[in-house]
């Protein structure tokens, strides 16, 4: 009977443990590849071949500069099509000039800040139209919130500080003058869009034409043009994006004939697809089970790297018991002191990547210049319950160790610790947090939320959390992206921009504002560390750890490597190729 045979085979599959063909733990297991972040897996590759890389979401918009398009998936899909002036490197601190696109990008003046971009004379769009200063100008006008108020941009950061973008040398030199200094100017002019194509959607000298081209022209349909090594050959919605070599590509490579982005929306299905050779590269969020499953595969290499995501506990200062007042400060500081950050790491991500240490900084990653421990040095995250109790006692709390009562006589209510539903790591972190503060007499209820965004941006007094665990994203330019998290909100509102905790400190405001406009990197690092020390001692958010990243791929491929930046491993898609050695 067919049914009986099926049942028997399934039983055998279930009992066999490691999948057949893995060849045992020693001989056939996947190999972890380690090395310099910027050069790992750089064996010589040959020309030709195809690779299928997994995207975890559908490409909802083809314009990565719009809110819907600014997802990792959309950016990865267009990384080989839309060129950027600078490309952040895997080491998390280098931004490399894309010399295929521009020969140089020099700051010629600091007052006013002026950047001169010399565009490569060979740089052309796939229809042979030269890439020019007009394309730079188009990007500025659509994202400065002034020339095109209806352009739906993901962010105006930096572009709103530019006074002018002008062209010379027949359009091959773009001169950008800032009205206000912008330290992270190397983040600008990423994902260049062709202005001559924009003009086919509307009159780009008008705000309406800019909006139509930006919001719909470039967003609704996959680009038929390219300014990068690949061009989009076919898009099958919710299935795949197929990219082939751009015949008009003006740089070196690409090595592969075709790259297919296959959409797999369930992370757990990626490993069997890799094992079955239906895909050749995956970059899922690492989990213990997934990594163990991966390690058993034959002919697969993997890299466990770092990411810009850093997990933290954020405390809601809108709660009167946790607010910025002497009693609230003491309560938060005592909890910070009682928490065992390393203990949390050991029971969660430490099982994926041993050796992860507490982050202890709100701006810098350990790999970045300027990093220093500003949290652990205050005694936070060291599981010092005795010291935590002492802090409470000094502040006038009673009922310590039993049922905590605030100095004003009001009992401290149970606190809501909110985590993302279905995220096992964060649930464990919540449970551990509750156990760490229990000896202080504090009750913590650990609750899931199925809408993390909504829980973060509570907009009225009925906020959703007292303590919430989630990740902020770092950057090679930490000031630009992280300063808004700690800048004070206007009076009368419970959150603004990314300051969801409603943290206020005038000294921190001053330092952060300076860090965004100061053009001296050393001074910026000093500003950020001073601000960080203040934020840390104010005990508003407790950094936990830098989240590890995972990339697994067929061992026949070289050039592909883990990268924490917004375009992930596709940052060097032209370098991907089949290894000359075969594996």
Partner 1 sequence: MFAYAVRRLIISIPVLLTSTFLVFLMVSLSGDPLADLRARQPPPPESVLRAQAHELRLDQPMLERYWHWISGIPRGDFGPSVQNINIGHELWIRFGVTMRLVLLAVLLAAIIAGVVGVVSAAKQYSPTDYALTGLGFLFLAMPVFWFAILLKQLAVNINLQTGHTIFYTIGDRSIETTGGLAAQIGDIAGHLILPTIVLAITSFASWSRFNRASMLEVLSSDYVLLARAKGLPRRQVLVRHALRTALAPMVTVMSMDFAAFFSGAIVTETVFQWHGMGDLLLTSIQLRDVYPVLAWLLIAGSAVILMNLIADLLYALLDPRIRYA
Q: Interface residues with partner 1 (CB under 8 A)?
A: 2-4, 6-7, 9-10, 12-14, 16, 19-21, 52, 58, 60-61, 67-68, 70, 145, 149-150, 152-157, 219-220, 236-240, 242, 260, 262-266, 268-269, 272-273, 275-279, 450-454, 456-457, 472-473, 481, 484-485, 497-498, 500
Closest contact distance (angstroms) between CB of 323 and partner 1 is 22
C-beta closer to partner 1: residue 532 or 575: 532
Closest contact distance (angstroms) between CB of 514 and partner 1 is 18
Closest contact distance (angstroms) between CB of 269 and partner 1 is 6
C-beta closer to partner 1: residue 26 or 266: 266
Closest contact distance (angstroms) between CB of 485 and partner 1 is 7
Residue 420 near residue 448 (C-beta atoms within 8 A): yes
Pairing of strands 95-97, 86-88: antiparallel
C-beta closer to partner 1: residue 458 or 533: 458
Instruction: Please give the Cα distance from 259 to 281 (Å, whole number).
Output: 11
C-beta closer to partner 1: residue 66 or 226: 66
Closest contact distance (angstroms) between CB of 325 and partner 1 is 27
Closest contact distance (angstroms) between CB of 507 and partner 1 is 22
Residue 316 near residue 467 (C-beta atoms within 8 A): yes
Distance between alpha carbon 443 and the CA centroid of its chain, in Å?
33
Cα dihedral 212, 214, 218, 219 in deg (nearest 10):
-90
Closest contact distance (angstroms) between CB of 450 and partner 1 is 8
> Residue 439: which of 335, 540, 542, 332 has the closest Cα?
335
Buried-state track 519-530, b at ≥16 Cβ within 10 A, e below 16: eeeeebbbbbbb
C-beta closer to partner 1: residue 437 or 512: 512
> Residue 281: which of 299, 255, 307, 254 has the closest Cα?
299
Closest contact distance (angstroms) between CB of 36 and partner 1 is 28
Torsion sign across C-alpha atoms 143, 147, 149, 152: negative
C-beta closer to partner 1: residue 210 or 335: 210
Q: What is the 3-state secondary structure (H, E, C) of 166-203?
A: EEEHHHCEEEEEECCCCCCHHHCCCCCCCHHHHCCCCC
β-bridge partners, 260: 52, 242
Closest contact distance (angstroms) between CB of 123 and partner 1 is 30
Residue 210 near residue 142 (C-beta atoms within 8 A): yes
C-beta closer to partner 1: residue 89 or 275: 275
C-beta closer to partner 1: residue 31 or 277: 277
Residue-wise DSSP of 252-302:
S----SEEEEEE---GGGHHHHHHTTS-SEE-PPP-HHHHHHHHT-TTEEE
Closest contact distance (angstroms) between CB of 457 and partner 1 is 4
C-beta closer to partner 1: residue 4 or 111: 4
Residue 202 near residue 138 (C-beta atoms within 8 A): no
C-beta closer to partner 1: residue 333 or 420: 420
C-beta closer to partner 1: residue 262 or 416: 262
CA angle 566, 181, 509 (to 5 degrees): 80
Closest contact distance (angstroms) between CB of 19 and partner 1 is 6
Token code pair at residue 509 = 């405001």
Closest contact distance (angstroms) between CB of 83 and partner 1 is 23
Residue 62 near residue 221 (C-beta atoms within 8 A): yes
Instruction: Please give the Cα distance from 77 to 73 (Å, whole number).
Output: 6
Residue spans of beta strands (DSSP E) within 320-392: none
In the chain, the N- to C-terminal Cα span, in Å, equals 43
Instruction: Please give the Cα distance from 231 to 81 (Å, whole number).
Output: 6
Instruction: Please give the Cα distance from 17 to 380 (Å, whole number).
Output: 43
Residue 246 near residue 256 (C-beta atoms within 8 A): no
Distance between alpha carbon 329 and the CA centroid of its chain, in Å?
30
C-beta closer to partner 1: residue 203 or 220: 220
């Amino acid at each position: 009977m067919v049914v009986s045979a099926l049942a028997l085979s399934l039983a055998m599959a279930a009992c066999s443990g490691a999948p057949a063909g893995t060849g045992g733990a020693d001989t056939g297991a996947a190999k972890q590849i380690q090395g310099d972040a910027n050069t790992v897996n750089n064996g010589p590759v040959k020309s030709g071949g195809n690779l299928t890389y997994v995207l975890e979401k559908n490409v909802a918009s083809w314009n990565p500069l719009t809110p819907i398009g600014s997802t990792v998936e959309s950016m990865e899909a267009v990384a080989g099509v839309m060129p950027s002036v600078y490309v952040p490197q895997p080491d998390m601190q280098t931004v490399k000039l894309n010399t295929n696109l521009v020969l140089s990008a020099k700051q010629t003046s600091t007052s006013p800040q002026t950047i001169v971009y010399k565009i490569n004379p060979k740089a052309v769009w796939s229809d042979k139209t030269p890439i020019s200063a007009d394309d730079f100008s188009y990007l500025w006008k659509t994202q400065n919130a002034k020339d095109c108020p209806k352009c739906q941009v993901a962010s105006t950061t930096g572009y709103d500080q530019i006074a002018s973008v002008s062209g010379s040398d027949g359009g091959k030199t773009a001169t950008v003058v800032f009205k206000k200094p912008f330290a992270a100017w190397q983040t600008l002019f990423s994902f260049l869009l062709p202005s001559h194509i924009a003009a086919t959607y509307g009159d780009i000298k008008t705000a309406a034409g800019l909006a139509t081209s930006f919001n719909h022209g470039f967003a609704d349909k996959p680009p038929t043009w390219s300014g990068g090594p690949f061009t989009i050959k076919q898009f099958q919605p919710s299935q795949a994006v197929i990219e082939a070599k751009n015949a008009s590509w003006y740089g070196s490579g690409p090595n592969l004939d075709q790259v297919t982005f296959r959409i797999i929306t369930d992370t757990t299905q990626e490993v069997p697809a890799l094992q079955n050779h239906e895909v050749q590269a995956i970059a899922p969020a690492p989990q213990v089970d997934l990594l163990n499953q991966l390690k058993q595969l034959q002919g697969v290499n993997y890299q466990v790297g770092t990411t810009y995501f850093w997990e933290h506990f954020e405390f809601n200062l809108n709660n009167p018991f946790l607010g910025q007042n002497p009693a609230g400060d003491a309560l938060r500081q005592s909890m910070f002191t009682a928490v065992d950050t390393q203990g949390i790491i050991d029971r969660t991500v430490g099982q994926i990547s041993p050796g992860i240490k507490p982050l202890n900084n709100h701006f810098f990653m350990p790999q970045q210049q300027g990093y220093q421990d500003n949290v652990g040095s205050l005694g936070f995250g060291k599981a010092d319950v005795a010291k935590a109790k002492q802090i409470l006692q000094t502040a006038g709390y009673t009922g310590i160790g039993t049922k905590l009562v605030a100095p004003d006589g009001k009992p401290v209510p149970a606190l809501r610790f909110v985590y993302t539903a279905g995220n096992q790591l964060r649930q464990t972190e919540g449970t551990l947090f509750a156990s760490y503060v229990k000896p202080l007499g504090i009750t913590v209820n650990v609750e899931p939320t199925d809408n993390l965004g909504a829980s973060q941006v509570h907009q009225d007094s009925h906020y959703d959390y007292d303590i919430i665990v989630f990740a902020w994203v770092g950057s090679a330019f930490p000031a630009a992206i992280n300063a808004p998290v700690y800048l004070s909100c206007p009076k009368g509102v419970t959150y603004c921009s990314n300051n969801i905790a409603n943290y206020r400190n005038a000294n921190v405001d001053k330092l952060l504002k300076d860090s965004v406009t100061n053009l001296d990197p050393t001074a910026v690092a000093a500003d950020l560390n001073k601000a960080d020390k203040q934020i840390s001692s104010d005990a508003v958010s407790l950094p936990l750890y830098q989240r590890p990243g995972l990339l697994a791929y067929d061992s026949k491929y070289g050039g592909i490597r883990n990268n924490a930046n917004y375009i992930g491993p596709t940052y060097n898609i032209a370098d991907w190729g089949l290894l000359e050695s075969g594996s």
